[in-house]
Structure 1
Amino acid sequence: MKVLKFGGTSVGSIESILSLKSIVESETQPVIVVVSALGGITDKLIAISQQALTGDEQYKEEFENIVKRHHHMVENIIKDETAKKTLLGTLNDLFDQLRSIYYGVFLIHDLSAKTQATIVSYGERLSSHIVGTLIKNGKRMNSRDFIKTINKQGKHTLDTKLTNQLVKDAFATIDFNTTVPVVPGFISRDRDTNETTNLGRGGSDYTASIIAAALDADVLEIWTDVNGFMTADPRVIKSAYTINELSYIEAMELCNFGAKVVYPPTIYPVCVKNIPIKVKNTFNPSDPGTIIKDKIENDRKPIKGISSIKGTTLITVTGLSMVGVIGVNRRIFTALANNGISVFMVSQASSENSTSIGVRDEDADKAVETLNEEFAKEIKTGAMFPMHAESGLATIAIVGENMKHTPGIAGKLFGTLGRSGISVIACAQGASETNISFVVHSKYLRKSLNVLHDSFFLSEYKVLNLFVCGVGTVGGNLLQQIASQYQELADTRQLKLNVVGIASSHNAIFNREGLDLNNYKEQLKASEPSNISKMCKEVVGMNIFNSVFVDCTASSEVAELYQTFLEHNISVVTANKIAASAEYEKYAKLKETALRRGVKFLFETNVGAGLPIIGTINDLRNSGDKILKIEAVLSGTLNYIFNTIAADVPFSETVRLAKEEGYSEPDPRIDLCGKDVIRKLVILTREAGYRVEQSDVVKQLFMPDDFFEGSLEDFWKRLPSLDADFERRREILEKEKKRWRFVASMEMGKTKVSLEAVSEHHPFYGLEGSNNIVLLTTERYKEYPMLIQGYGAGAGVTAAGVFANIMSIANI
């Protein structure tokens, strides 16, 4: 035999209730059907009672809306006119009773707990009559006749022994071959006073479980509007998926911490009898759903799911008098229990001088008042402090029975949160190791859930959320590369590069679910104007997990934002040289912040575009080597110019060609003055472990200083005046079989840039096109320096270098 329970959404619409009919009538074995009120009706019944209590005549209209909804349902689903007439007569009798109760509340302005319980019972009483008439061979039964409660300290709790016997008696005479019992869930009756009571919100699940346990059913099926238990809230985590199997303990832990798939008390009655629970979707009955049972075979996942409770208040009971004193915690929990306050988390310091308890926000004031009264004498003498309550918090739990067999789960949990800039305010873990609970500020709830879901492999994919600033040649190429590699990385690396923000010099677009890279240019054009300040506020305010800010500009204003981003645990990948070559203190602070916050500040493309120069230097130093000397040609632009210059291609023409080919900056003077090379040399020297400023670099340039003054237009007009001198010097070099190279060098922290003539035996002599080359002399590579050579300029290779930095973060 099966017990099938259908929730409010399963009876809430014509579509869903007809699906219920199909599900029940397709069963081949005996079933008992338990139903909730139509979706949203219980809340409306409570709201209308409050309107009546305050004398608001609007309650009458709201009540009639409930009547119309039920009538509309019946008119559209019951085809037999005789059955329809009988059903409507029954419903109208119930509505007349309820109308009279509301009118009494309206007249005397009194709403007792007894009256409220009676009012909310009508939801299930109405729906069960409808379902009992709808399904073939349906027979409505009155759950108040066999579900009995007892009043304990003002709360109605189940009288288990009596209820079990009454359930057995009630169903003993049912012929399940010809009858499908339909039971209203949630409602019950006091065993002593015969008053209508209920089993609490969500109590329809509990009703079904009580019946299943009493009758030793084969299975309890909970039909709802989701496919089953999810690894996390799908409204927050898009990659959340259905958990196929859970143990009773895992399901209970998830239910207690906000997973509202099953009402928590539901699990115990069937667990005792080892009756499995299936959670199924009324709107998708073919889905297998989630099965909850005693033992899960071949279960290797340490974490099954992540759940959370919003609206948490943490109350701290503290005082030196608590140390070593027996009975303090007993007083805390007894006082709270006597006042009907539930505590869902406890954290105590090993010194015993403080205990923190988690309660719901709505219970916080009462809990503080209760505890202050309980410890009034100790507070008055100073032995204890008044209760401290901190609200605006959320509680998160990671759940899985296999955690107890997997070392390091707690370490990974807190390490992951720390790297994401999320502080844990309090935590608790039981000896059973099936649940680790912790409290964070509510503003970090979404971020916490996402990063943990991703970190513990509950997500099919690891996700990096990228903010790309700059859509010029480098930024445009990068976005194109990400789009072309997106599916490949998802398929082979289970990695999703989610571009959640794109900014140009004047506009910006953001979407935490990810932007469509096929039409981002059109979206940017259509977007509202933006600026640096707005962009920064949006990036930080999105508070998204695993986030990376990617700077493909040459803007000093954008570079100034790096510190803010790193402080908010947003990694920075940049092709912009300004930050790493700025004042040493700024550079050092960025590096220190990244290290302290557990994020990355990567700028490989600052030197050599896509060449692994900075990475190699870091690897050498990390392995204990020391960089003694650096010799390098670091400007692809200048190398192109001095490789292109010839008798028929004068110096001024090579500069123009470099700009047209995209090797130089829009203003070539930035390259020609050596400033770009100086920045690169400063960055390499710093990464090699030496403190240096741009002003420390000795400059031996090849153009008069006055060429770098005035307008760009004047520069282009004057540039040909240098052609004759360059040609004269070039002819001399050609005869000597030498070539010009603009060389950056560092030896033991001393730096210099100069135009040098190198002979045909020098490693720099054969350097072609816009290539870069670096010679690293170290303590290990002293006799034969390490050589790194390759393309050192170009949007494509620079974008590829930025991409490589992004991928290195994905590999952490």
Structure 2
Amino acid sequence: MEVKKEEAEWEIHKFGGSSLREGALFLKVCQILEKGQLPKKASVVSAIYGVTDMLSLAVDRAKEGVDIEASIESLRKKHFVIIDDLFRGGPYGEELKRGFEKDYQSLLHLLKTIEMSSYASETLMEVIMGYGEIWSAQILNNLLLSKNKKSQWLNAREVLYIKDNSPEREVDWNLSQLKLKERLKSFDKQFLIITGFVASTVKGVPTTLKRNGSDISAAIFGHLLEAKEVSIWSDVDGIMSADPRYVPGARPIKTISYSEAMEMAYFGAKILHPKTLAPIIDKKIPLRIKNTLNLESPGTLIGENFFKRESKSKSGKEGEFLKTSIKGLTNVDSLSVINVEGTNLVGIPGVVGRVFKALHDENINVLLISQASSEHSLCFCVPYEDRFITKKALEKELYRELKEKFIHTITTSDPSSILAVVGENMIQTPGVASRFFGSLGKANINVRAIAQGSSERNISAVISQKEVKRAMKAVHAGFYLSAQTLSIGLIGPGLIGKAILKQLNEQKNNLKKDFDFDFRVRGICNSKNMLLSKTEIELNKWSDDFKDKSVVQNLEKFVDFLHTDDFPHTCLIDCTASSELANFYPKWLSKGIHIITPNKKGNSGKYSLYQEIQRSLNQKKSYYFYEATVGAGLPLISTLKEMIQTGDKINEIEGIFSGTLSYIFNQFGGDSRFSKVVLDAKEKGYTEPDPREDLSGIDVARKAIILAREMGHKIGLEDVQVEDCIPGPLKGNLTLIEFMERLHEGDQSFEDKRLEAENKGELLRYGAKINSKGEVFVSLRSYPKNHPFCQVKDSDNIVLFKTKRYKERPLIIQGPGAGPEVTAAGIFSDLIKLTNSLGKD
């Protein structure tokens, strides 16, 4: 970037009303000015916070004949409180009060004039509305003088001239430069305090630069004084990468080009008015936005193009590459999309010109235009309050075309917003549009219209205003400008649920710091109660809060609370074994809610439910991860998916899928009778509370069904051949206590099977086999001692994939397949996969 020459004498500091709301802030402003680097420092000031509105209210009261003396008293009190705070009755303060009293009397006469006629001319309004800056400039000037600083205040109306009858407030540069030069001919001070906002017409009539005029004043005086730099001080840390009201993770932009800043200002970045930069661009004067309340913040520096483009390979990470491609995103709300549509629109010469001339005649501002390449439709955005006037004007202008059916419809929309992504380096960066619209799509945001300027510095999309908060967060995170945030609800805080909450609590900060993943657990519920938080639940004490602060469970309210526009993405973690909850999966997925679960019922229950889930996923609104349904933390499903997706043919899958039954048959033998091993497993927590749920083999069958369906087979539980491990005499309706007391009655039967296997040099193992036809067999079988199944220890699972590629030597996956910690690890892994998927194009 080209900077100003070292010979520059002036630096400009503009202070807004929020920087001058109290005496302490005036003192801080003095400190900022005193720390200036150049010999001459000009400060352009706004009115004290609230004063401009007070003056406007005083005029309204005068029109209504309501107690104008009270208006004057309010202004007097506002200023005298600050004067007393700063000067403590000293001479500089008393001087100010005497001068202000004269102004208050003049203002009172003006208000009485308005009261008499119930009317305020534009010129009178301009005079009155400029008082605030005159008062604040004098206070700051006297404060510097009281500190023995060489300072002088300047009423900008004496040097800044606006061309007569100029609605755009065009500066007469030659006259203004001449008057300022004359005024500063003998200037020998260090500080010049200038009134912002106010000016005069060439004829000498007082006027103003309208709202945001003080910022423009600073840029104008930067131009006139050929300043080295202009600084605008407010109560924010600079231009933010997005509106912090919508994106709490928005960050200050360190550097931004003039063009980027103007794009962001045009599309709603309220910290900067689009006209502010115009006076300083031709002289290449940098403008810096800083925070009076946070001097440590570097703020935002606006100048020429700061960015030197690097190739993707050189910059390393895709995230860093895309991050440097854009500077931020911004939005304009309260719009209506006007759509003019007709199959014969293309054949109407000059129709577009007529449309916009009709809007110009009605003084309607058009903020975005989009036309289909077929020219069969034209849409554009206007302020929402102007939608009916717009439609009426177009119906009048296009009356004949509507009557002859050349144009079919002219429609308006409900409240809409423009969302724009801005960046100088978008011009030569592939993938920006894909990332933008991909992020919106993954947040289930419908795009109504699209536009891109020929400069390629911004891409704009029109969306429903009610979705703007969610859209802003999704796109902001999509470009790595803030963390990828998930609103998470956990259903079923049992052993597995507690384990995943513990793991999230341990890793949450590291994930946000190292990977920009922001996991917000905002809801936890069981079958009776639920705990909710607007921001996030404190995971280090969730159990206590659940006891003390939970409310009666209402599943619909629980889900609706989590799925809010305040968060771009919602994820439900179902840690139950509930068939009822699984029935909700299609509905939740269709609403754009992501699901992660170890619950097998959704993928192994009725085939019609499985089909509904798949249809919901085909809508591409959400993700569904269920790795933990089969192998806990083992990557069985993902491995199977990848083999199928890469064209491998699955011939057979065989495995030990139950950690409980793996443990039982690893321990069974010798002095360890079957009943003793089952009791030992129950006491160690390896079995379900009722071991018959494990011994039935149904859990293994469900896991086999899930894998078979992944292979493409239409299969249900009724199609699986299951040999259970419940002794024959105990298959009746026994209570749990009765079952456990009589379990020894099956010992001899299992001992006979063990001895039969041992005589063949084999061991007993309980598993499942799925062949290429989709036939599933679940049974207790014996295997040679050198078989991989006979090498597993304790409660390990093991699965063999025999495929076209892995024909001679099957692919083997082995490891812990049961237990809360490893199952929670599988859920956590799916959560990471989900977040990575949301970050992809």
Cα shift readout 1:174-231 (whole Å, capped 9, x = no counterpart): 2443263322212233445x55432221111111212221332222221111222122
**Residue aligning to 1:475:** 497
Q: 34, 38, 43: which one pairs with 1:33? A: 43
Letter in 2 for 1:15: A
Does 1:526 pair with 2:526? no
Does 1:94 pair with 2:108? no
387-396 or 132-141: bigger deviation: 132-141
Letter in 2 for 1:156: P
Cα shift readout 1:365-397 (whole Å, capped 9, x = no counterpart): 443343344334444554435642213222111
- The TM-score, its normalising length taken from structure 2, stands at 0.89
Cα shift readout 1:509-541 (whole Å, capped 9, x = no counterpart): 444644332222222223231332222111223
Does 1:353 pair with 2:376? yes
Q: Secondary structure of the equivalent of 1:356?
A: strand
**Residue aligning to 1:131:** 140
Q: Secondary structure of the equivalent of 2:619?
A: helix
> Offset of 1:633 from its aligned partner?
1.7
**Residue aligning to 2:287:** 277
- The TM-score, its normalising length taken from structure 1, stands at 0.92
Say whether the 8 Å CA contact 1:156–1:199 is kept in structure 2. Answer: no
Pick closer, same or farther for the CA change 1:564–1:147 going to 2, 3 Å.
Answer: farther
> Offset of 1:404 from its aligned partner?
0.5
> Offset of 1:714 from its aligned partner?
4.5
**Residue aligning to 1:245:** 255
Pick closer, same or farther for the CA change 1:265–1:44 going to 2, 3 Å.
Answer: same
Letter in 2 for 1:801: G
> Offset of 1:732 from its aligned partner?
4.8
**Residue aligning to 2:819:** 794
**Residue aligning to 1:23:** 32
**Residue aligning to 1:742:** 766
- CA distance in structure 1 between the partners assigned to 2:580 and 2:290 by the alignment: 54
- CA distance in structure 2 between the partners assigned to 1:104 and 1:705 by the alignment: 107
Q: 566, 587, 590: which one pairs with 1:564? A: 587
Q: Secondary structure of the equivalent of 1:607?
A: helix
**Residue aligning to 1:631:** 654
Q: Secondary structure of the equivalent of 1:158?
A: coil
Q: Secondary structure of the equivalent of 2:270?
A: coil
Pick closer, same or farther for the CA change 1:427–1:305 going to 2, 3 Å.
Answer: same
Q: 5, 16, 25: which one pairs with 2:14? A: 5
Q: 770, 782, 807: which one pairs with 2:832? A: 807
- CA distance in structure 1 between the partners assigned to 2:504 and 2:473 by the alignment: 22
88-97 or 483-492: bigger deviation: 483-492
Q: Secondary structure of the equivalent of 2:194?
A: strand
Pick closer, same or farther for the CA change 1:53–1:586 going to 2, 3 Å.
Answer: farther
Letter in 2 for 1:590: I
> Offset of 1:50 from its aligned partner?
4.2
Q: Secondary structure of the equivalent of 1:240?
A: coil
**Residue aligning to 1:757:** 782
263-272 or 727-736: bigger deviation: 727-736
- CA distance in structure 1 between the partners assigned to 2:530 and 2:446 by the alignment: 30
Q: 77, 83, 92: which one pairs with 1:74? A: 83
Say whether the 8 Å CA contact 1:572–1:600 is kept in structure 2. Answer: yes
104-113 or 332-341: bigger deviation: 104-113
Does 1:45 pair with 2:55? yes
> Offset of 1:104 from its aligned partner?
5.1
Q: 781, 785, 790: which one pairs with 2:806? A: 781
Does 1:517 pair with 2:539? yes
Does 1:142 pair with 2:155? yes
Does 1:406 pair with 2:432? no
> Offset of 1:332 from its aligned partner?
2.9
Does 1:695 pair with 2:718? yes
- CA distance in structure 1 between the partners assigned to 2:585 and 2:125 by the alignment: 58
- CA distance in structure 2 between the partners assigned to 1:135 and 1:367 by the alignment: 53
Q: Secondary structure of the equivalent of 1:264?
A: coil
Letter in 1 for 2:637: I
Pick closer, same or farther for the CA change 1:99–1:543 going to 2, 3 Å.
Answer: same
> Offset of 1:625 from its aligned partner?
1.0
Pick closer, same or farther for the CA change 1:776–1:288 going to 2, 3 Å.
Answer: closer
Cα shift readout 1:318-351 (whole Å, capped 9, x = no counterpart): 3445324343333333333343332221111122
Say whether the 8 Å CA contact 1:610–1:797 is kept in structure 2. Answer: yes
**Residue aligning to 1:184:** 195
Say whether the 8 Å CA contact 1:164–1:214 is kept in structure 2. Answer: no
Say whether the 8 Å CA contact 1:9–1:38 is kept in structure 2. Answer: yes
> Offset of 1:793 from its aligned partner?
0.9
Pick closer, same or farther for the CA change 1:617–1:452 going to 2, 3 Å.
Answer: same
669-678 or 227-236: bigger deviation: 227-236
Pick closer, same or farther for the CA change 1:592–1:764 going to 2, 3 Å.
Answer: same
Cα shift readout 1:489-524 (whole Å, capped 9, x = no counterpart): 445445444434433444434446443322222222
Say whether the 8 Å CA contact 1:31–1:176 is kept in structure 2. Answer: no
- CA distance in structure 1 between the partners assigned to 2:125 and 2:409 by the alignment: 36
Say whether the 8 Å CA contact 2:590–2:622 is kept in structure 1. Answer: no
111-120 or 660-669: bigger deviation: 111-120
Letter in 2 for 1:134: L
Pick closer, same or farther for the CA change 1:201–1:787 going to 2, 3 Å.
Answer: same
Say whether the 8 Å CA contact 1:30–1:176 is kept in structure 2. Answer: no
> Offset of 1:696 from its aligned partner?
1.0
- CA distance in structure 1 between the partners assigned to 2:760 and 2:238 by the alignment: 81
**Residue aligning to 1:309:** 332
Pick closer, same or farther for the CA change 1:122–1:314 going to 2, 3 Å.
Answer: farther
Aligned runs of 1:425-464 on 2, under 5 Å? Answer: 425-459=448-482, 461-464=483-486
Pick closer, same or farther for the CA change 1:170–1:499 going to 2, 3 Å.
Answer: same
- CA distance in structure 1 between the partners assigned to 2:154 and 2:590 by the alignment: 62
> Offset of 1:304 from its aligned partner?
0.9
Letter in 2 for 1:536: V
- CA distance in structure 2 between the partners assigned to 1:237 and 1:65 by the alignment: 37
Cα shift readout 1:714-768 (whole Å, capped 9, x = no counterpart): 5445444434544455455555544332221222211121222334344323433
- CA distance in structure 1 between the partners assigned to 2:111 and 2:130 by the alignment: 13
- CA distance in structure 2 between the partners assigned to 1:337 and 1:191 by the alignment: 29
Say whether the 8 Å CA contact 1:536–1:561 is kept in structure 2. Answer: no
> Offset of 1:251 from its aligned partner?
0.8
RMSD: 2.8
> Offset of 1:105 from its aligned partner?
4.8
Pick closer, same or farther for the CA change 1:134–1:543 going to 2, 3 Å.
Answer: closer
Letter in 2 for 1:288: P
Letter in 1 for 2:649: K
713-722 or 769-778: bigger deviation: 713-722
- CA distance in structure 2 between the partners assigned to 1:134 and 1:453 by the alignment: 43
> Offset of 1:128 from its aligned partner?
2.3
**Residue aligning to 1:551:** 574
45-54 or 327-336: bigger deviation: 45-54
Say whether the 8 Å CA contact 1:242–1:290 is kept in structure 2. Answer: yes
Q: Secondary structure of the equivalent of 1:156?
A: coil
Segments of 5+ residues of structure 2 without an aligned counterpart are 1-9, 311-323
Aligned length: 806
619-628 or 564-573: bigger deviation: 564-573
Pick closer, same or farther for the CA change 1:7–1:462 going to 2, 3 Å.
Answer: same
Say whether the 8 Å CA contact 1:148–1:158 is kept in structure 2. Answer: no
Segments of 5+ residues of structure 1 without an aligned counterpart are none
- CA distance in structure 1 between the partners assigned to 2:178 and 2:732 by the alignment: 98
Letter in 2 for 1:603: Y
Pick closer, same or farther for the CA change 1:351–1:48 going to 2, 3 Å.
Answer: farther
Q: Secondary structure of the equivalent of 2:39?
A: coil
Say whether the 8 Å CA contact 2:423–2:457 is kept in structure 1. Answer: yes
Say whether the 8 Å CA contact 2:801–2:812 is kept in structure 1. Answer: yes
41-50 or 88-97: bigger deviation: 41-50
Letter in 1 for 2:266: N
Pick closer, same or farther for the CA change 1:182–1:326 going to 2, 3 Å.
Answer: farther
**Residue aligning to 2:363:** 340
Say whether the 8 Å CA contact 2:583–2:609 is kept in structure 1. Answer: no
Cα shift readout 1:631-686 (whole Å, capped 9, x = no counterpart): 22211112222333346444344333323322222332222222211110100101
Say whether the 8 Å CA contact 1:498–1:515 is kept in structure 2. Answer: yes
- CA distance in structure 2 between the partners assigned to 1:653 and 1:48 by the alignment: 91
- CA distance in structure 1 between the partners assigned to 2:767 and 2:682 by the alignment: 21
13-22 or 327-336: bigger deviation: 327-336
> Offset of 1:35 from its aligned partner?
0.9
- CA distance in structure 1 between the partners assigned to 2:14 and 2:809 by the alignment: 78
